[in-house]
Amino acid sequence: MRPHKSPSTDVDSYAVPALDRALTILELLAQYPEGMRMREIAEKIELPSNSVFRITGVLEDRGYLLREGTDMRYRLSRKLLALGYAAVGEDKLIEHSLDVMQQLRDETEETVLVGVRADLEGIVLEQVAATQPVKFLVDPGTRFPLHTSAPGKVFAAFIKPAERATLLKRIHFKRYTPNTLDTRAKFEVALEEVAKKGYAVDRSEEIEGLHCVGAPIFNHRGHPIAAIWVTGPSFRFPESAFDRIGRKVVNAAATISRRFGHNIL
């Protein structure tokens, strides 16, 4: 029987209001990459403006927030990416991936990216630009939905079944394009295909005219710690090329995985 928790040991009794509010502000700004004014932050989280002023001031001084533009909007700085690398538990991810990304880019001539999962979203950590004159580029730190992206499907397909079931209950299957997998049933069918093939695809499911193919990067425990994917415009990267590029992406992911001690059978 689980022992009764006395009030003195309750987590709430150790709460630090200022810290809780600071984390709330960081999580809020993560949803608004264009930034927010101080008054908007205060209204959104229902806190007095003077409290928000003090907290954002500390975060800005520590380098976690930037305050820019004529309207002085607050937005997240890239300092949080450093924490993101550490949170993955594999702080050498980019170091182990960059040469492989460059080789894969040279083979496909399309943009190659590496990213990680952060709860219900994926986050781009690094990219190597396509050699083509028309190319797809994003800023490091850009977030993307799991259900519309090749790396998102990879993250969901290769985690443990119990963890995946919990994750799928929480995903909001928002529709972005006619190709979006907008129900759990459709997404689960796609995950079965990902598990069989070893790679996932994005058929313009979030952005019209953009295709992606991605594969998982595993650590020594066989846990997917990241994903690597190729992305390009559909006129140059048709569905008929998915299998060919998919094999290249799987091989690239396996090379990086071995550097983390994953035993490829």
Sketch the domain layout of the chain as residue ranges: 7-77, 86-259
CATH fold of 7-77, please? Answer: Arc Repressor Mutant, subunit A (1.10.10)
Return the percentage of the chain with pLDDT > 90, whole number. Answer: 58
User: Residue 2 pLDDT > 50, yes or no?
Assistant: no
Handedness of CA 199, 219, 114, 104 (dihedral sign): negative
What DSSP letter does each residue of 118-151 carry, written as one string?
ETTEEEEEEEE--SSSS-----TT-EEESTTSHH
Q: What is the pLDDT of residues 210-253, one digit of tens each?
A: 999 999 999 888 999 999 999 999 999 999 999 999 999 999 99
Q: What is the pLDDT of residues 131-190, one digit of tens each?
A: 999 889 988 888 899 999 999 999 999 999 999 999 999 999 999 999 999 999 999 999
Exposure string over 133-148, b if 16+ CB within 10 A, otherwise e = eebbeeebbbebbbbb
Please state which CATH class domain 86-259 belongs to. Answer: alpha beta
Indicate the residue type of 240: S
Q: What is the pLDDT of residues 188-204, one digit of tens each?
A: 999 999 999 999 999 99
